[in-house]
Amino acid sequence: MIIIAIMAINVGKDYGAWKKVGGNFEPFSNQGQFIKESRDRYNFSFSDAELLQITTPDLYIVYGDISFKQRQIYFSPNNDKPDMIKLRFTLSGNGTIYNEVNKQRYIFNSNQQNIIYMPELDGTGEYDTNSNYRFFEVHFAKEKFLQLAENSNRPLQILADHLDAGRYSQMAEQNLPISWAMQNCMHDILNCTYTEGLKLLFIESKCTELLVLQAEAFENAVAKNEKFPLQSAYDKDCIYYARDYLIQNILHPPSIPQLAKLCGINEFKLKKGFKSLFNKSIFGYLTDHKLNHAKQLLLEGTPIKSVAFQSGYSSVQHFSNAFKKKFAVSPGKVSG
């Protein structure tokens, strides 16, 4: 199941590596092929979508980029799907879904993640028609997830108990930010160059790594038990606006007083709220974003000098020092 336009679009219904046996879905291999991958474009009256779908005996992975043409969409029940639990990452865009079955509202905001078990969906979704909605999801087969969660941490075990009982649940009511480690993991899955058995092994290991990173993030959030300095949805929106503005003006970022004025919040709430939402200071987050983007440019073959300039560094040496401090390797090793 995919909680966005996929259900309405009605794609991926066979779930690639799954077949229905006696009313239940079971994994199968098609003539020895344990992994299937497809890249497709869909054009409908309510949306345009580009999807990458990967299926294995225990996983269904989908990366999507959707442009919605209408704000509200109805999702009808779909019984032709295996029982799976979803690691959900909203990369950009915003939306909400209200499920009539369990009377629960699910919020999808940019750069947020959660783990959701929703065996049935019958409801409505609302999406921003002014910007694309990009997402990444990993769907684990129920038995595989229960096996992985059996000896894991407490939040994951609690979620597994709900899953085993068939109860609607999610890792936490409050979504958490997507970490850089999670982003790198998704990048590795989407750009895997291995073939056949090695590709299956690599993708399964990366999906398990994503699950571990999420479980750790939610465990740390519970352990901190800090008072959240943002008391309203308005305050949180201001912080997300500040983050987006910083990224858009990455080469010429404003000062903290300027940023606070731009996003309509005082400096104390801006600094404390940013740290709580993203687990980094404002400029620590900005530096990480620049260096991660720089790494991607190097991997794509962009010359080091050009990357340093695009990243706003005054010299290649300053860029190399910052890069090595973060990644423990020189830019030359990455580009070479």
pLDDT of residue 184: 93
Fold of 5-224: Jelly Rolls (2.60.120)
pLDDT of residue 238: 87
Q: Which helix (H) or strand (E) element contains residue 205?
A: helix 196-224
Q: What torsion do the CA atoms of 109, 113, 91, 326 make, to the nearest 10 degrees?
A: 130
Q: Which helix (H) or strand (E) element contains residue 5?
A: helix 5-9
Distance CA(77)–CA(66), nearest Å, equals 21
Distance CA(198)–CA(332), nearest Å, equals 28
Extents of the domains making up the chain:
5-224, 233-335
Distance CA(233)–CA(260), nearest Å, equals 16
pLDDT of residue 5: 41
Q: ∠ at Cα 69 (66, 73), nearest 5°?
A: 85
Q: DSSP letters along 252-296, please?
A: SPPPHHHHHHHHTS-HHHHHHHHHHHHSS-HHHHHHHHHHHHHHH
**What is the pTM for the complete model shown?**
0.64
As beta bridge partners, residue 64 has: 51, 135
Q: Which residue has the tokens 């597994």?
A: 160
The length of the chain, given as a count of residues: 336
Answer yes or no: are the C-beta atoms of 287 and 322 closer than 8 Å: yes
Q: What is the pLDDT along the chain (336 residues), one digit of tens a residue?
A: 333 444 333 333 344 444 444 444 444 444 345 889 999 999 988 889 999 999 999 999 999 999 999 888 888 777 667 788 999 999 998 888 988 888 888 888 888 999 999 988 888 888 888 888 999 999 999 999 999 998 888 888 888 888 888 888 888 878 899 999 999 999 999 999 998 889 999 999 999 999 999 999 988 877 664 545 555 778 888 888 888 888 888 888 888 899 988 888 888 888 888 887 777 888 888 888 888 888 888 888 888 888 888 888 878 888 888 888 888 888 888 775
pLDDT of residue 228: 52
CA-closest candidate to residue 88, choices 97, 101, 100: 97
pLDDT of residue 33: 58
Fold of 233-335: Arc Repressor Mutant, subunit A (1.10.10)
CA-closest candidate to residue 85, choices 203, 166, 200: 166
Distance CA(265)–CA(268), nearest Å, equals 8
- Whether 233-335 and 5-224 are alike in CATH topology: the answer is no
Distance CA(73)–CA(267), nearest Å, equals 39
